Amino acid sequence: MRNFFLFIQRYSHFFLFLILESLALYSIYQFNNYHHAVLLNTANNTNGFILSKKASIIQYFSLGEENLRLQQENLELRKKIIESYYIDQGDTIRNTDSSFNEKFTYIPGTVIQNSTDLANNYIIIDKGTKDGVSKNMGVICPQGIVGIIVNASENFSIAMSVLNSKFIVTPKLPNNSSVGKLVWKGNSPYFAYIEKINKFDPLKKGDVVQTNHTSTLFPENIMIGTIVEVKNAPGGTFLNIKVRLSSNFTNLRSVYITKNKQFNEIQQLEQQTIGN
C-alpha cells in the first residue's frame, strides 16, 4: 500500500494533467455542438469499421456453410426449370390435357479432385452410390456441362471431364440442322471444338452452344460455351468451330449430377433393338 501511495505521489502531476485533460474534453464535447457532432461521427465510424471487420471474419469462416446453402437453393431452382420435365400427353383419345412429369433429378456434389493438364482428365466428386449416383449420369455446374459419371463407389464417384479426348456430346447450335459433335483436342482447358458441321450453315462468332434435346444425360439448353472462331476444315466440306467453354475447369467446385429417370428404359430398349 505504501508503494502505491509513493507511486501516486511521484506521478501526481501526470495524473492531475489527465484529470484536467479529461474534464476539458468532456466540457468541449458536452457544451459545443460542433465538437459533439465530430466526436459522435468519429465514434460511429470507428464502431462501424470494427463491426464490418468482425462481420467479414465471421463470413469468411462460414463460407462452407453458405456455399452449401446456395447449392441447395440452386438445386431447388434447377428442379423447376422446364428442361427437367417432359410432357405426358396421356391417352390422346380420352384425355386432352397435358401434364408435366419429372424427367431429370439432381444430386448436389463437391469436386474434391480435378485435373486439366492431361490428355484424359477425370473429376472425383464426394457423392456415391449411397446418394443415388451411378454410371452414365451427366455432371453440370452453374455455368454449364462438366462431364459424365464413369464409375461410382459407395461414397465417391469419378466423372470423365469434358477435357477428355474420349468425351463426345452432340451440341445444339442456333439456326443449324447439322448433327455435329463436341470434342476436346487438348492444349487448353478453356476451349473445345465442334466437328462435322456443314460449311454452308450460318454460324458466326458469338453464337451460343447448348446441349441438345436428344441427349439422355443432360437436360436440354444447358450451356456448353460460345463460338469464338469459325473456319473451313481441310477438304472444304465441313467447318472447324472453336468454342470457349462456359465452365471454368481450373476452378471447379460445386456440381450437380443429373439423373435421367427414363435412362434405364431407353437403354434397355436400345439393347433389345440392337440384339434383334
Question: Which residue type does 198 have?
Answer: N
Tell me which residue range forms the domain holding 43: 2-61
In DSSP terms, 139 is beta-bridged to 147, 257
CATH code of residue 211 = 2.40.10.350
pLDDT of residue 89: 44
Q: Into how many domains does the chain fold?
A: 2
Please report, for residues 66, 191, 206, the alpha-carbon distance to residue 244 in angstroms, rounded to integers and kept in the order given.
30, 5, 10
**What is the distance between the alpha carbons of residues 250 and 248, in angstroms, rounded to a whole number?**
5
Q: Choose the final residue of a domain: 14, 37, 61.
A: 61
pLDDT at residue number 39: 58
In sequence order, which residues have a C-beta less than 8 Å from that of residue 106 and are 6 or more positions away? Answer: 75, 78, 79, 84, 256, 257, 258, 259
**pLDDT for residue 242:** 92
What's the pLDDT score for residue 86? 45
Q: Is residue 242 part of a domain?
A: yes
The pLDDT score that the predictor gives to residue 198 is 80
Residue 49 lies in a domain: yes
Q: Which residues are paired to 79 by β-bridges?
A: none
Question: For residue 130, is it within any domain?
Answer: no
- What three-state secondary structure class fits 139? strand
Cell of residue 154, nine digits: 459407395
Kindly state whether residue 184 falls inside one of the protein's structural domains: yes
- Using CA atoms, how far apart are residues 239 and 198, in angstroms rounded to an integer? 6
Indicate the helix (H) or strand (E) that contains 21: helix 12-31
103: phi then psi, degrees, rounded to nearest 5: -105, -45
Q: Report if residue 226 sits inside a domain.
A: yes
Please tell me what DSSP assigns to residue 130.
G
Residue 52 maps to a domain: yes
Domain-embedded: residue 84: no
The pLDDT value recorded for residue 101 is 62
Q: How far is it, in rounded angstroms, from Cα 185 to Cα 182?
A: 10
Last residue of a domain, one of 61, 78, 100: 61
> CB count, 10 Å around CB of 140?
22
In a domain, 139, yes or no: no
User: What nine digits make up the cell of 235?
Assistant: 477438304
Per-residue pLDDT tens, the chain, 276 aa: give them.
667 666 666 767 777 777 777 777 666 666 666 555 555 556 555 655 565 565 566 555 555 665 665 666 666 666 555 555 444 444 433 333 334 567 888 898 889 889 898 889 999 998 999 999 999 999 999 889 999 999 999 889 999 999 999 998 989 888 766 678 899 988 899 999 998 888 777 788 899 999 988 888 898 889 999 999 988 877 777 888 899 999 999 888 889 999 888 777 777 877 777 766
Helix, coil or strand: residue 173: coil
